[in-house]
Amino acid sequence: MKKLISLVMAAIMLLACCSFASAEADVPEGYPAIIEGLDFGGQTIWLYDWWSNGDEEHSDRSAEPDEDTQKLYEYRDWLEKTYNCKIVEKNWKGWQENPQELATKVADKDASELCLILIDPNFAGGPLANDLYMAWDPEIIKGEQFLSGASELMTKNGKVYGVLAGSNEPRECVYFNKKVLEDAGINYEEIYDLHKNGEWTWDKFEEYLKKVQRDTDNDGVIDIWGMTGNGDRVLRGCVFGNGGTFFDFNDEGKLVITADSDATLAGIAKRQEWGDTYMPRKEDYAPDGEWNWFEGFWKEGTTAFFVGQHYEGFGDMSGNPLMPSCDFEWGCVSFPKGPNASDYLYGDVVNIWGIPNVYDEETAHKLQQIYALYTIPTPGVDPETSWIGDKYERTDDRAVDEYCAMARENGHQVANKTYLLGSENDVLGPTLYWALGNGTPIEIVEAAREAWQHRCNLFNGDETEEDYQKYLDEKAAAEAAAAEAAAAEAAAEEAPAE
């Protein structure tokens, strides 16, 4: 009997070893180790965005994928087989509708399907303030694919409620016209050298602005301007590039106004100074032009620098990016560092993935695990070069190797917590971006404080929707009354004397 038991145990051990060896053999080289116990029982996991047209048969896949895309398909097929599930990227309700539908799903406690839901950053405040998303395991989001800016934006009381995996999309940067620089006696390689050595600062930038801007025919009109671009982007570059913010959380976890910080006020002042000195103004050159009138100004080749966004030079060509349409050679570096910054920084703009707050903790953790596995860099594809695409064909190697490569790395992004209060245009447009001529930086900020504080109160739960709407109604009534009184006064002054 003892011999029989020994033989049975030996057989069991052999089967176990064979099973383990088989499991290891099922993991292709470079693939992540299998997570024991992670099994979805054949369920579909929906990744709800507002543009994909995926289905459970993956009919949206390319019939003739390139080599890297084929490796992606093979990895995702392995994931689905290994964890007994389908993973489908699907257009849900729409970029404006997703946030409200998320709120409805949570209110109804609808856990009938497994899903993650994507929202635009303009709507990030609602899910964070109202607990519509579940917190993420900090160990999971240590993965290299998770973007620090998204996690920072969606952090409340030490917990992260929304994430984004993938590659950082750099934002504000400085393009330069090589010919304009050369005509001014400037070797553009100097700018790259400064940037590479961490010495590309406000002061250095200003040295070049002064040198390039000139009246070439002595008629009193500037012929070559220092810079152009969207003024709002220049302001963001100055504020975030100086380590400033507009709003942030305090030690008590309340979202508060930080636009009155020294770093932010200095950034606003620099934007005013550069706008007054080195930038052509719309009212002077295109009073009836479109909002993007400055793009045509840049294309004329009479401006040395253009403050824009990364995608305008390096984005998807189907989107007709601005820089490749220019008929002159251009280069690109980060927005220069302000005196309060120790590195090149830009304000982040990221979509947010979250898990609806309708599941138990075990299910939510499983969804986090599969999302992390789904979004790792594709095994067998070099993540150091896969992002380059056709960028070398657009400009010089240094712009790609030194600017683009660096700006994609975590650590250069500043979470723009303005998005927790609404869109930038709604929150900062009339109060700051379009009010730069209304006084000194601190005067502008103080004039905006009341409106900003009410928004913060609403986010923090210190003010109800009804309270906030009452404030808006009273403000609108006061403004209408003031406008009516001003109109009456003007009419009285114009009336002929009896």
pLDDT digits (tens, 9 = 90+) for 272-324: 999 999 999 999 999 988 999 999 989 999 999 999 999 999 998 888 899 99
Angstrom CA distances, 209 to 35, 191, 246, 312, stand at 56, 12, 27, 21
Could you state, in order of their start, the residue ranges of all structural domains in the chain?
Answer: 29-168+350-374, 172-347+394-460
Q: Are 156 and 184 in contact (CB under 8 A)?
A: no
Q: How far apart are CA 440 and CA 437, in angstroms?
A: 8
How many CA atoms lie less than 13 Å away from 172 in the CB half-sphere?
Answer: 27
Q: Provide the pLDDT for residue 483.
A: 87
As a whole number of angstroms, the distance between CA 371 and CA 353 comes to 10
DSSP class of residue 123 equals G
Task: State the greatest distance between any 2 C-alpha atoms of the chain, in Å, as a whole number.
Answer: 128
Residue 20 has a pLDDT of 35
The CATH H-level superfamily of 29-168+350-374 is: Periplasmic binding protein-like II (3.40.190.10)
CB atoms under 10 Å from CB of 357, counted, come to: 19
Cα–Cα distance measured from residue 131 to residue 161, given in angstroms and rounded to the nearest whole number = 8
Q: What's the confidence (pLDDT) of residue 492?
A: 82
**Best CA proximity match to 425, nearest among 277, 172, 230:** 230
What letters, b where the CB count within 10 A reaches 16 and e where it falls short, cover 295-332? bebbbeebbbbbbbbbbbbbbeeeeebbbbebeeebbb
Which residue(s) pair with 353 in the sheet?
118, 163
* pLDDT given at position 17: 36
Give phi and psi for 350, each to the nearest 5. Answer: -135, 145
**Length of the chain, in residues:** 498
The CATH code that applies to domain 172-347+394-460 is 3.40.190.10
Domains 29-168+350-374 and 172-347+394-460 are alike in CATH topology? yes
Determine the pLDDT at residue 19.
34
Whether 373 contacts 366, CB under 8 Å: no
Tokens of 103: 């709120």
pLDDT value at residue 254: 96
Residues of the chain short of pLDDT 50, as ranges, are 1-23
Q: Which of 382, 96, 442 is nearest to 260 (CA)?
A: 442
CB count within 10 Å of CB 100 equals: 13
